[in-house]
Structure 1
Amino acid sequence: MEGLRANKTRLQSGFIAMEPGTGLVRAWVGSRDFEQDQFDHVSQARRQPGSTFKPFVYGAAFVQGARPTDVLVDQAMDFTIGPGEVWHPTDIDVPSGQPMTLRDGLAYSKNTITAQLTVRTGPVNVATLAKAMGVRDSKLDPVMSLGLGTSPVTLREMVTAYATIANAGRYVPPLLVSRIEDRKGRVLQAFRVPVAEEALPFAPDVVLLDALRGVIDRGTGTAIRNKYGLQGDLAGKTGTSQDNVDGWFILMHPQLVAGSWVGFNDARITMQDPWGQGARSALPMVGDFFKQTLKARLINAKATFPRLTDPEVVPQLEAWWGVTPAPAADPMAVTLPEVASIPEVTVAPSTSVAEPAVIAPQEGWGGNSIPRAVVVAPPRDPIVPGRPALVRGPERAVVAGAQRETTPIARAVPSGEASGARGAPPPVNPYRSQEAGF
């Protein structure tokens, strides 16, 4: 009995870090102690991601033409999900009843705002985007509560998807082994860097990344700045599932993305309120990891993501939102973040272009169709053995937007409706699962 009790009440965790541009996995910790638990909480454990799933909702909305300055009302709202069934998502705090921008809704992890946005955007579109970005193995139920993180996923999938955001919307699968050598150092097998494929068009990706900066600078992830003293261009998201069952945190740097999960193997056992939230349980591991990584100068503290105000980005955003027509014959070149290289791996040039995932717009953001942006990545230069990382210039891509009408899209204005409800749900009904919003 003592052994069973110890096993049930032993807090577990998982951690993974990978390069967004190459997919190279730099750290992978499956459990706190392999001798005690051989279960891999990075790739085997499927848990509710809570608020870390919200970026897919906002990303899908930005694809459809929404802007970070669009507003929805922070108030309680009932959603009819079936005969006699009503979904009533809420936050820990009482709704303010005031208009809130989408940027603030994500930074402060408001369930009321995210629930409304999920309905407007369409759960199917949210699931489609999440799969394109990296959540490809777990089943995602396209229901209204999906945006609050009710479908169980793995930590590996979530960090891979966030790496897509950090990689200008281009998905690169994780690469665990770059080469195999014998005892004399001879290379027996070398593995190519996976070819990137567009999952999220460049313009909405930059908007989403900028909104996720707010989580770190003034939202639920400010401990990264205040407690761990991390500076530089960082973005990320906290997450907590119902009753503090799962704590999540994922942080993005232009050269490295890392995430952690904390919880018990038995989901019926919950963490206490003082430390159960993702910002208090999972964030410390990621914060300390990045602190040591920056201290050792393994990544460049001055590396930056594209910004909304960059001269190369502004025309792309205007074209995407329909402010100005996109050029047809002379597409603009957009500088993408530097990508760290993997030594002693030859990369074959690729001439193929991945088709973007089709995400149909829903009513509510204006316009019947949103022109797609096509990102054409040039062939990569072969990686020379012995060359230090980041010696290459920034990778460049051509982003061409389809011709658009100059009529501005309809802004998302307060509808007078609201969202909100919480309650512990049986696993058979995803609507009864609600994450805490942190």
Structure 2
Amino acid sequence: MRPEPTSPIRPSRLRRFLRWTLVLLLALGILGAIAAGILYTAVASKLPDVEALRDIEMQEPLYVYAQDGRLIALFGETRRYPVQIEDVPERLKQAFLATEDARFYEHSGIDYRGVARALWLLTTTSDRRVPGGSTITQQVARQFFLSSEYSFTRKFAEMLLARKMERNLSKDEIFELYLNKSFFGNRAYGVAAAAEFYYGKSLDALDLDEMASLAAIPKFPSSGNPLSNPERAKERRDVYVLARMQELGFISAQEAAAARAVEMHATPHERPIEVYAPYVAEMVRLEMVARYGGDVLTRGYHVTTTIDPTMQAAAELAVRNGLSTYDRRHGWVKPAETYELAADEDAPTVARRLRGVAPQGGMLPAIVVRSGDGTADVVLADASTITLDAASSRWTGRTPAALLTRGDLTRVRRIETPTRGNANADATETPPTVTWQLDQLPRAQATLVSMEPGDGAVRALIGGFSFAGSNFNRATQSRRQPGSSFKPFVFAAAFEKGFNPASIVLDAPVLFRMRHGQDWRPQNSDGRFLGPMRLREALVQSRNLVAVRLLDAIGVDYARRYISHFGFEESQLPPNLSIALGTPSLSPLDVTRGYAVFSNGGFRVTPWFIDEVRDREGTVIFKENAPRACRGCGSDGTPGQATTPSHVVDGFNFGPAAAERTVTAAPEAPVEPPAPREDGAAPVMAPRAIDERVAYQMISMMRDVVRRGTGTAARVLERDDVGGKTGSTNEHRDAWFSGFGGNLVTSVWVGRDDNRSLGFREYGGRAALPIWIDFMRVALDGVPEVSNEPPEGMVRVAVSAGGRLLPTTAESGGITEYVKAEDLERMESEIDLRIDDVPAEEAFDIF
């Protein structure tokens, strides 16, 4: 039999199947290509320009420095100190390469095996987050340009960006961006900030175990850093980072074993503040925001201030000690806050109650846990317990047990006393003796402002007892009445009007009838009246009635306009005779500025505290060129022209008008103008505020205030160039001392924020002057004394104790004064004032 023929259908069906399969695959391929093209076009068109990474500005904090470069403050939420790749140790780079991307210097930006693994896991598992095999380049792309969303689109964009970055940037540039951008937990961004925060070291000082620990952080910066989870951090350091470094040949087995043997030892290291000036730091922050916008805390500005570290420290100590001394004069105050403590509450539990209660002025918060038998046990914020004995509260006159009860929130101060040991022994072998003192926050506040009168540079500023307790800057933001410390401005206005230190004014009762039928009877602080007085003596003894009569004689409107030239706003000066008693509301900074006019020879300077601003690259973008006083210069700032033509501003004559007068004082040598600055900028002359001769007279009189008046306590400084004026207000609400010495003018204010009285007899000489003295003792150490020579255009005269002009002969005796040449004629023509009967009270109508 013939075999049956094979059916031709099967081969035909197979071929058709293969043909359709091929067509389908081709179609799918075309569709896939089209889809990929569309996706690429859609994603690629939105990719940023990676060239911008060359000029990227990392967020850096705002740095504030003292005059000598020591750190005052760091502002900013992020800790970041960008470094150049060449400054990163090779071993540290290897640690990150081993951990994140061993083939970084070999691939073109994408690890395709890792990407395939990630795509497979996303497709086949329900996990939303899977290991993605991202290279360092991809991580940089994500950190700078993309979100942390897990999706195919974001991953595709990341890959495209990585390829684009590899074409435009070098490997080192990409690696540098990664090391500076990565987050390491605890607000530390960048490896340099992480090294400083966790280990207090620079990069070149890190040990191998520390490098490996840092390299392990970026994967789990919050939950796996050495502080939040040291066990997990050690496991990643030992099992992963060091093992990978050894596997890749970066380190030997012995080095890996030695590093693993080191215990985890990371601790928080805040960048140390070297100069404590928190009020100044906040002033800088506000000023920088005003100048450069709200992002100044992230742009890495470096601001150098005018603050002198030694003076600032002296000011801080003087204010703390002065307020403590004042407060102790007024006795112990029962603690205002008491906690209900459980009977079995242990020290750590008690200590947790102190979270958020900040130390202030060197005083640590503490909670009383036992009181009895003359002593008390208190717990500090670190959970340590100390016992306060009778010596700790000796200043109160009572024992701690009599002052404290269980649960009281109180304050203690740690006192370290150097131990006197063997003279030949190493000082480190004899630690200081530590004792504890019971203390309390003072009820009063104080400010201190010190500046150079020549240009207004602020050298020290204290805005209150403790910035932690209150960030309200009383030196610049508060407005308080200066009291009698305002009298020099009134006297200066009178001297411009023709009065002089020898002029006679009555210290006698006076009644002023006001518009609404009210009567005003100003009083002297001692309630006494001394009759006719020379103005010099009136200022030395701070006689209120003389100041009021003097202001009445020259006119309130005139005085307000004149005094405004010291830098005060005329609107700040009440339009009535009360300004003679210091009723204007002024800030301590304003008062200090006013006194600078006296000290610098009559020029109005503007206080300033920012000397220089540099950007993150170190380029100077601002350098202060403050207007400066030029003692001996004419009204136009020209040296040697002090006595040529008169200079009239606003109706006030600021220069001598009688050059033909014979001047007994020898003329000064020609004055050289200030030299140009280092950067070549020409010096700027400050505007003249008052006649230099008036400034001389006021300096002379305020030196007498210290020699024999209300400021005699300052004689302890043993300097002839120290002068100033005390100030007190009604009911002792404010106490002041403003004065000068050497190259400084300084004001101290003491008062209470609630405007209550400081207490009986808390005058400026008692509450404020001791702070001023303690500060100036340090600030003027080694500073030469400044002379006060009468300028040209003044005449030396002799007067009697009653102010009568005496013949200027060697035999005439009398009291020596220097008066303006044009005022001498007035003195010669004055009728002798023989006031035998001082009226009991004179009455004047005022409006």
TM-score by length of 1: 0.68
**1:257 maps to what in 2?**
745
Aligned-pair identity (%): 31
Alpha carbons 1:76, 1:95 under 8 Å: kept:
no
User: Does the 8 A contact of 1:50 with 1:241 survive in 2?
Assistant: yes
> Retained in 1: the 8 A contact 2:561–2:570?
no
Question: Alignment partner for residue 281 of structure 1, among 754, 767, 790?
Answer: 767
List per-residue Cα deviations over 1:214-242 (Å, max 9, x = no partner).
111110000001xx333131110000011
Counterpart check, 1:304 vs 2:790: no
Aligned partners of 2:602 and 2:691 also within 8 Å: yes
- Which region of structure 1 is more displaced relative to structure 2, 124-133 or 215-224? 124-133
State the shift of 1:409 in Å: 5.9
Q: Where do 1:142-221 residues align within 5 Å? A: 142-182=575-615, 186-194=619-627, 195-221=685-711
Query: Among 515, 528, 545, which residue is 1:112 paired with?
Result: 545
Cα distance, 1:143 vs structure 2: 0.3
Superposition deviation, residue 258 in structure 1: 0.6
**Which of 693, 712, 716 lines up with 1:222 in the alignment?**
712
1:182, distance to aligned residue in structure 2 (A): 4.7
Distance of 2:834 and 2:541 partners within structure 1: 18
Q: Aligned with 1:153: secondary structure?
A: coil
- CA drift at 1:183: 6.3
1-structure distance, mates of 2:772, 2:832:
35
**Alpha carbons 1:260, 1:283 under 8 Å: kept:** yes
Is structure 2 residue 529 aligned with structure 1 residue 82?
no
Aligned AA (2:774): D
Q: Is the 8 A contact 2:498 2:823 kept in 1?
A: no
SS at match of 2:610: coil
Query: Do the aligned residues in 2 keep the contact of 1:263 with 1:271 (CA within 8 Å)?
Result: yes
1:317 correspondence with 2:794: yes
Give the Cα–Cα distance (whole angstroms) in 1 for the partners of residues 831 and 703 of structure 2: 23
- Judged with a 3 Å threshold, the aligned counterparts in structure 2 of structure 1 residues 152 and 413 are, in CA distance, closer, same or farther, namely farther
Which whole-Å CA distance do the structure 2 matches of 1:73 and 1:418 have between them?
11
CA distance, structure 2, for counterparts of residue 284 and residue 136 of structure 1: 30
Asked if structure 2 preserves the Cα contact closer than 8 Å seen for 1:72 and 1:413, the reply is no
| Structure 1: distance between partners of 2:513 and 2:592 | 33
Unaligned runs of 5+ in 1: 308-312, 322-400, 422-430, 432-438
For 2:609 and 2:829, the matched residues in 1 are separated by 43
Tell me which amino acid in the other structure corresponds to 1:140.
L
**Relative to 1, partners in 2 of residues 1:419 and 1:141: Cα closer, same or farther, differing over 3 Å?**
farther
> Does the Cα contact within 8 Å between 1:73 and 1:100 map onto a contact in 2?
yes
Separation of aligned partners in 2, 1:223 and 1:420: 35
CA offsets per residue over residues 368-416 of structure 1, 9 Å max, x none? xxxxxxxxxxxxxxxxxxxxxxxxxxxxxxxxx9989956464794775
Give yes or no for contact 2:734–2:750 (8 Å, CA) kept in 1. yes
Contact map agreement 1:215 1:236 (CA 8 A) in 2: yes
Contact 2:741-2:780 at 8 Å conserved across structures: no
What residue number does 1:292 align with?
A: 778
Deviation, 1:10, is 2.7
User: Is the alpha carbon distance of 1:32 and 1:49 closer, same or farther for their aligned partners in structure 2, counting shifts above 3 Å?
Assistant: same
Structure 2: which amino acid aligns with 1:53? Answer: F
TM-score normalised to structure 2 length:
0.36
Between the aligned partners of 1:145 and 1:132, the Cα distance in structure 2 is 19
Indicate the residue corresponding to 1:348 in structure 2: none
Query: Cα gap change, 1:178/1:94 in structure 2, threshold over 3 Å: closer, same or farther?
Result: same
Note if contact 2:509-2:529 (Cα within 8 Å) is conserved in structure 1: no
Stretch moving more, 116-125 or 102-111: 116-125
**Is the Cα–Cα contact under 8 Å of residues 487 and 539 in structure 2 kept in the other structure?**
yes
Question: In structure 1, how many angstroms separate the alpha carbons of the residues matched to 2:486 and 2:829?
Answer: 26
Counterpart of 1:339 in structure 2 is none
Change (3 A) 1:263 1:412: farther
C-alpha distance in 1 between matches for 2:748 and 2:842: 28
Could you say which residue in structure 2 is the equivalent of 1:40? 473
Kindly indicate whether the alpha-carbon contact (under 8 Å) linking 1:70 and 1:413 is maintained by their aligned counterparts in 2. Answer: no
Q: Distance in 1 between matches of 2:775 and 2:760?
A: 24
The gaps in structure 2 that reach 5 residues or longer are: 1-334, 338-409, 411-439, 628-684, 798-819
Task: For residue 466 of structure 2, give the secondary structure of its aligned residue in structure 1.
Answer: coil
Q: Which residue type is aligned with residue 26 of structure 1?
A: R
Shift of 1:119: 0.5
Letter in 1 for 2:745: V
Q: 1:31 to 1:203 in 2, by over 3 A?
A: same
Q: Which residue of 1 aligns with 2:446?
A: 13
2-side partners of 1:281 and 1:257: how far apart?
A: 19
The answer to whether 1:242 aligns with 2:719 is: no
Distance in 2 of aligned mates of 1:403 and 1:92: 35
Question: Does the CA-based 8 Å contact 1:123-1:147 persist in structure 2?
Answer: no
Confirm or deny: 8 A CA contact 2:602 2:690 kept in the other structure. Answer: yes
Checking the alignment, whether the CA contact within 8 Å between 2:742 and 2:780 is kept in structure 1 is no
SS in 2 for 1:306: coil
Where 1:261 maps in the other structure, the secondary structure is strand
Q: Report SS of the residue matched to 1:104.
A: helix
- The verdict on how the C-alpha distance between 1:260 and 1:419 changes in structure 2, with shifts beyond 3 A counting, is farther
Output the CA distance in 2 between the equivalents of 1:28 and 1:216.
Answer: 23
CA contact (8 A) 2:597 2:695 kept: no
Letter in 2 for 1:214: D
Pair 124,288 (structure 1): closer, same or farther in 2 beyond 3 Å? same
Q: CA deviation at 1:95?
A: 2.7
1:53 aligns with 2:486: yes
Sort the Cα spacing of 1:46 and 1:414 in 2 relative to 1 into closer, same or farther, 3 A: farther
Q: Which has the larger radius of gyration?
A: 2
Q: Please say if residues 90 and 419 of structure 1, whose CA atoms lie closer than 8 Å, have aligned partners that are also in contact.
A: no
Alignment-mate amino acid for residue 789 of structure 2 = P
* Offset of residue 97 of structure 1: 4.2
**TM-superposed deviation, 1:47:** 0.7
Partner of 1:352 in structure 2? none
Q: Is the 8 A contact 1:61 1:121 kept in 2?
A: yes
Task: Quote the residue 2:120 is aligned against.
Answer: none
Contact 1:29 1:42 in 2 (8 A): yes
User: Matches of 2:570 and 2:750 in 1, distance apart?
Assistant: 21
User: For 1:413 and 1:404, how far apart are their aligned partners in 2?
Assistant: 17
User: Partner amino acid for 1:164?
Assistant: V
Aligned counterparts of 2:619 and 2:497: Cα–Cα separation in 1: 51
Tell me which amino acid in the other structure corresponds to 1:288: D
CA distance 1:404–1:303, shift in 2 (3 Å): closer
Distance in structure 2 (CA, Å) of the matches to 1:158 and 1:414: 38
Q: 1:94 to 1:38 in 2, by over 3 A?
A: same
Aligned position for 2:561: 128
Q: Which one of 95, 104, 118 corresponds to residue 528 of structure 2?
A: 95
Shift in Å at residue 188 of structure 1? 3.0
Query: Please, what is the CA RMSD of the aligned residues?
Result: 3.1
